[in-house]
C-alpha cells in the first residue's frame, strides 16, 4: 500500500484500518478506527486536511481531495467524512463535509464546501454543487442533486448495516 508523507506530514492510521495495496493515502490525512480503503482509491491530503471517521469505507477508484488555503479563502476546503459513511465506487469528494451514516452512491461528485447532513442517501451519479447543503434523512439524486423523498425506516437502517458489512469484509482482508 502507498501511505506517503507530503512535506513532512505522514497520514495518521487508526486501529484496525485496512488500506488495499493498490490504494494511495498521502499527506495530512487521518483515518479513524476500522476505516477501509479499497483498490485504486486515492486520498490526497497534500494542500489541506482530510479526515475520515471511524467505521467508514472508501470504495474502489474513489478520489478524495481538497482545495488549498489562500487569502480569499483562508481555510481553503478541507474534506471531512463522518463515522460509518459508505463512499461508493468511483466517487469524487472534493473539499466537502459528509456527516455520519451517509451513503454516497457510485460515480457521484461532491464539490467544495458542500455539506451532506447525517443519514443522506445520495443516488448514484449525482452531482452536489459547491456550497450546497443536502438535508439529512432524505434521498437526493440528480445533476444537480435534489431532494426526492424522506428515507424509510428500512433505508435508514441500511446505513449501519452497510458500514458494518464493510468493516467485516476489511477484517477478512486484514
Q: What is the CATH number of the domain that holds 8?
A: 2.160.10.10
pTM across the whole model: 0.96
- DSSP character at residue 11: P
Owning domain of residue 151: 2-173
Domain count of the fold of the chain: 1
Residue pLDDT, tens place only, 91-113 = 999 999 999 999 999 999 999 99
Residue pLDDT, tens place only, 29-51 = 999 999 999 999 999 999 999 99
Q: How confident is the model at residue 116 (pLDDT cuts 50, 70, 90)?
A: very high
Residue 49, CA distances (Å) to 28, 60, 71, 157, 159 in order = 5, 21, 17, 30, 25
Amino acid at each position: 500500500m502507498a501511505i506517503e508523507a507530503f512535506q513532512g506530514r505522514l497520514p495518521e492510521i487508526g486501529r484496525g484500518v485496512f488500506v488495499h495495496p493498490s490504494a494511495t493515502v498521502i499527506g495530512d490525512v487521518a483515518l479513524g478506527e476500522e476505516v477501509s480503503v479499497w483498490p485504486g482509491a486515492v486520498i490526497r491530503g497534500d494542500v489541506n486536511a482530510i479526515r475520515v471517521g471511524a467505521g467508514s469505507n472508501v470504495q474502489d477508484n474513489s478520489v478524495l481531495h481538497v482545495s488549498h488555503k489562500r487569502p480569499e479563502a483562508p481555510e481553503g476546503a478541507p474534506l471531512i467524512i463522518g463515522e460509518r459513511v459508505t463512499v461508493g465506487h468511483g466517487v469524487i469528494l472534493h473539499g466537502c463535509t459528509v456527516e455520519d451514516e451517509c451513503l454516497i452512491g457510485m460515480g457521484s461528485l461532491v464539490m467544495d464546501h458542500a455539506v451532506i447532513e447525517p443519514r443522506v442517501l445520495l443516488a448514484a451519479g449525482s452531482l452536489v454543487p459547491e456550497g450546497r447543503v443536502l438535508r439529512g434523512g432524505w434521498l437526493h439524486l440528480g445533476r444537480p442533486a435534489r431532494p426526492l423523498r424522506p428515507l424509510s425506516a428500512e433505508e435508514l437502517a441500511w446505513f449501519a448495516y452497510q458500514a458494518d458489512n464493510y468493516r467485516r469484509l476489511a477484517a477478512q482482508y486484514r
